Structure 1
């Protein structure tokens, strides 16, 4: 049997070689740029474009950003081989600046998150995403340590934290503004802007691009969602005015196309479909019969007899306008509530604060603005004859999941293969899937034949 199997295998292999060598006509069509010119490609956007992952910007994430992946594929159809990114120094990572909890006057920069085996807040040992090291204070000296390791100009102009109007703002990368007017400047742009008073769009246009991708607008609504819908309509984190958003997108695209460049626009995914908002179920409060009785009695003693509990899964208790109530199935609990729920009585004896919950009314605001923004992006793309990627529809498929090349993908935190350890940004594998979706719409719009990348060659969440 072994001899027969060996001979059969050799014959099959030889037959396959013969057929391959004698029938080149079955090969895929040659790569082609179609009606587009990829000789100078620039990418504009926010953290998704920059390669931000695991809660920080760092070299490995940048090298696997979707623009970097696209640029490699564009090389096969005449694209620039020297696609430059403002790469972070080796071993250095920088997350979004935040106030120090113990001293709000200090702005600190966290490091990337990694999976580690360690005790949680209850002492249970397991895998958990944690920051790789201590946060650093945001100072001019620290900014100097983040200087790019390659010379510009830069083709990847993704700026973590950027909203639509920021791409047009002169001085958005002014280092002096970080200390005196932090709301008007961004440390991630300050580290690579060509001059203190330039704008992202100006740095793009200085390169005379022949092709661009623009994926902006996520942060125009995400800031509101990340704050649990607490910002008021006058807050900078409230979703950008819908009419103003339309004007900003049109202004950006008008400049990018002013010299004849073609491009592709991506729309905004539903931010409430990502793991940061979907990992903790509304009924995550699991009680024994004794615990349920005690909790019911405790709330009754406070004059809140309408809050009753039973053995098993219960809706979490949340605060709305200072009044405790139970979460509804249509509300979302933010990922940072995890340890509060697990070890501090959050959602049971201590209600979850507004900042950790998206109510149905807040979700309606998010949906309304997302739909409006996406209509504006599509209208501008159509008016300018540009490719349009419907990432809202594409990433919504993750809610139910899909399989591709033998791999299952979904929106599950850590295990879904798409999202990194911050529950918001992509893994390298997720970025490759985004690149392929851009390639799909570019090929369709411009009659190009840009080969897609094998996404399975890119990593997912790194295990310790």
Structure 2
């Protein structure tokens, strides 16, 4: 059997994609199909926070056990899939804080009172982890960063914790994956080359140039193909404007007026799902009066989640002077301010900064760059003969019609069915089950296997019975700390 395995892996890259019949006269006789041999070998996943099982702006074992690589490993029947498990209370993306949690209906984070390095449960594992997802990793990081100092941010602690250099020879994520001699590898990387721009309110200067992305992705795939015989599965990049952190407040944009308006959420249809509802400040029946937000930028298309917390403190709420400057008569402006105060708002006239708003132009630029990245991935996937899981399409479907009863809405809007964690960026348990199934479908098609799908309903309802009322500004901002 050992000889059979070696022969199978030697011919893996040829047989898998050329469609050769394993029983052909010029092929060695095998007792198992190539797909079965690959599935029984070492499985390794390389990526960023999505691969790491990051949830609610942090890492903690209770979430990591349901990372998509861990779920796939369980479906493959692997009992020794090693991850860098973080003990309670977990490590948040903001230094000195825990992951986000619900406290009396508020999404918040708590101070971390212990050294985060002491929370790594299997730090002495004498080999690389099978899950080599590092939160905050960019495409360039996976073959360049050996620790926090050499990462894109220059200070990302998760690189030190997960790569554990110099104990593992000052090796990168890709080099450690190669050391494990995998027969099956998933590489999902590149999201952070666009995500940081969206989280920063459309800062297009944070987008990786497409030429750099192409060169780096080519280098990574070349390294994998020349150093392993692994069956390689890739994934493309979802539109970053499709995540709740960016689109949850889209309902406050009044298309008819062309300006943002004050909104709230309410269960309009009585179906247990909250909808965005514009707040009418006109006390007269059958009349509408919506109050425009004050923003630094014009042409705003998206308000990110931190804008909600700022708004609760009065930022973005117009005062009389701001309303008059917008063209409202003085008497109307005074009446509107009185109505806002009566409804608990704090009219400051201070505009929402550009760091929490994304203009239509910025959104288009980011989307175009993601399309370019995905074009690179699709082209190189053909060159290097690696199938691609279409995560871009999957997230679009999740937002449009849902998947397996789960939705793409923010937890404040749909706490029962949301597939996203409390940060509005990363999936929750059910969301990672959906991701795992996307990969399993591709694995089965590429390797001729029948790996069973994950039962998403087993992971649904993570926030059932837990009221969700608001999110603290510090909590809303925490997810950006790893960039």
Q: TM-score range by the shorter chain?
A: 0.7 to 0.9
Q: Secondary structure at the match of 1:115?
A: strand
What residue number does 2:142 align with? 167
What residue number does 2:309 align with? 339
Q: How far 1:453 sits from its partner (Å)? A: 1.4
Q: How far 1:185 sits from its partner (Å)? A: 4.8
Where structure 2 has 5 or more consecutive residues not aligned to the other structure, the ranges are 1-31, 254-259, 263-278, 319-348, 467-483
Q: Secondary structure at the match of 1:192?
A: helix
Q: What is the 5 A alignment of 1:187-202?
A: 187-196=157-166, 197-202=170-175
What residue number does 2:71 align with? 69
Aligned length: 368
Q: What is the 5 A alignment of 1:226-241?
A: 226-230=199-203, 233=205, 238-241=206-209
What residue number does 1:449 align with? 450
Q: Greater shift after overlay, 273-282 or 354-363?
A: 273-282
1:290–1:427 Cα change, 3 Å: same
Contact kept in structure 2, 1:228 and 1:334, CA below 8 Å = yes
Q: How far 1:135 sits from its partner (Å)? A: 4.8
Q: What is the 5 A alignment of 1:275-286?
A: 275-280=244-249, 281-282=252-253, 283-285=260-262, 286=279
Q: How far 1:207 sits from its partner (Å)? A: 0.7
Q: What is the 5 A alignment of 1:214-225?
A: 214-225=187-198
Q: TM-score, normalised by structure 2?
A: 0.71
1:262 pairs, out of 227, 231, 234, with 231
What residue number does 2:98 align with? 111
Q: TM-score, normalised by structure 1?
A: 0.74
Please report the RMSD computed on the Cα atoms of aligned residues, expressed in angstroms: 2.5
1:290-345 residue CA offsets vs partner (Å, 9 max, x unmatched): 89xxxxxxxxxxxxxxxxxx94334422113xxxx5x55xx000001112212314
Contact kept in structure 2, 1:86 and 1:149, CA below 8 Å = yes
1:449–1:146 Cα change, 3 Å: same
What residue number does 1:252 align with? 220
1:96 pairs, out of 93, 97, 111, with 93
What residue number does 2:381 align with? 381
What residue number does 1:433 align with? 434
Q: How far 1:193 sits from its partner (Å)? A: 1.4
Contact kept in structure 2, 1:211 and 1:262, CA below 8 Å = yes
1:452–1:403 Cα change, 3 Å: closer
1:96–1:203 Cα change, 3 Å: same
Contact kept in structure 2, 1:270 and 1:392, CA below 8 Å = yes
What residue number does 2:293 align with? 316
Where structure 1 has 5 or more consecutive residues not aligned to the other structure, the ranges are 1-30, 98-107, 118-126, 292-309
Q: How far 1:410 sits from its partner (Å)? A: 3.3
Higher strand share: 1
